[in-house]
Amino acid sequence: MSARTREFFGLIPVALMVTAGFTAVLITRSSQISTATLTYGAVFLGLCVFAHFFVRARLPDADPYMFPLAALLAGFGLVMIYRINPDLARKQAQWFVFGLIVFCATIVFLRDHRTLERYRYTIAAVSIALLLAPRLPGIGGATNGAYLSVSFGAFQFQPAEFAKIGVIIFLASYLRDTRDVLVRGRFPHLSLKHFGPLLIIWGAAMLMLIFIRDLGSSLMFFGAFLALLYVATSRLSFVAGGLGLFALGAWFLGSHIQHVQDRVTVWKDPFKPGLVEHEGYQIAQGLFAQADGGLFGKGFGQALLQSPYGGTLLPAPHTDLIYAVITDELGLFGAVGLLVVYLLFIDRGFKTALVAGDAFSKLLATGLTAVVAIQVFVIVGGVTKVIPLTGVTLPLVSYGGSSIVANLLLLALLLIVSDHARREPHAAGGVVR
């Protein structure tokens, strides 16, 4: 069975699961099974098959599992958002369609991902501009103390979601050129020029903490950079040095930047009197919701999101705390199942990096996959109180047009890299699964 055929048959159970999810939600609301659920599943399958034919035509040797796994995450996200707010689910579905258009356009027009290396400085400049855009007067604004989005009339998006891809492209290209010097050099003989990438990205991460107050993106960007640095050099000393610099900078800024200080204080003890009613309310309610789900959950539609007497019991359930809703309604087993899907996707991404034949492709696939992995860790870790809660989305699951479009663009890049990586062994008579 060819890779594309496996991909096609992988989409069918995804559509059935989406149909079953919508059915479960509607049953909890009306105690009746509506034919609309079959329509939702058929439309979702049709959209995915449409994108599948673009992959089949342009990337015949690409990994056959990443797209079905991404479709499963996106479909599950639509079901959860529909359960929370049907109006938001319709908007998310529209963004999913637009994201698939971007996905297909990337596959059609970007025939060889290695051409991105020619524009690495332009891509880096645009990415930095995107990161700083939320602080520009007139278009930027603060949300819960962090500058995350820009607005043009009714249109709003989060630039960091797209900037992360641009930064990874730049780092993959730059480290491909400098890796030999970094591998062979030793600390007494390495000049400031050799440490340039590390110091620049460290400075950018600190700047994000100061200027746009985005702790989550700061962790995500710097973590992805350390992953790329290790893959490029195989030197743990650089990773340890980077972690030390980040810890030092985070400690200093945490002592002097009020926004970061507040996040850490709430994280340490959200149940403290005076905090639990205000700043710690979101984390505390998220923990209560997860505990309420137990092992098997309460079922779709059974989590109490709004108080019977008015007011919100679980703030931002469609974005920051959607993982808490999932754990409440599907239990620990359901939440772990979701994380297993992410792990399978991440495994296929790193598999692509392993089979890639050139350094840029290896680093690009590693960086893109690491960004997804770290983003999942940052939001799940925040909701479970492992780390301070930050405002990043759960990839492909949380509500957010910028997030779903950017992650489908990321998926397209991974498939393009995968197609090139798997085509060479295939042409030589080898088999890559």
Sign of the alpha-carbon dihedral angle for 263, 268, 269, 270 = positive
Q: How many CB atoms lie within 10 A of CB 99?
A: 25
pLDDT at 342: 97
| Contacts of residue 37, Cβ cutoff 8 Å, sequence gap at least 6 | 19, 22, 23, 26
pLDDT at 148: 72
| Contacts of residue 319, Cβ cutoff 8 Å, sequence gap at least 6 | 391, 393, 398, 399, 400
> Comparing C-alpha atoms, which of 408, 300, 378 is closest to residue 18?
300
Residue 209 is classified by DSSP as: I
pLDDT at 428: 45
Q: What is the pLDDT along the chain (433 residues), one digit of tens a residue?
A: 788 899 999 999 999 988 888 888 877 776 555 666 678 888 899 999 999 999 999 999 999 999 999 999 999 999 999 988 889 999 999 999 999 999 999 999 998 898 998 888 888 888 888 888 887 777 776 666 667 778 777 777 888 889 889 889 988 988 887 777 766 655 545 555 656 665 676 666 666 656 777 777 778 878 888 888 888 888 888 788 878 877 887 787 777 777 777 788 888 888 888 888 788 888 888 899 899 988 988 888 778 787 766 667 888 888 889 999 999 999 999 999 999 999 999 999 999 999 998 889 999 999 999 999 999 999 999 999 988 887 788 999 999 889 999 999 999 999 999 999 888 655 444 556 6
Rounded Cα gap, residues 297 and 292, in angstroms: 8
pLDDT at 430: 53
Distances (CA, A) of 258 to 133, 247, 361: 22, 17, 40
pLDDT at 360: 92
Q: Is-contact 379 258, C-beta < 8 A? A: no
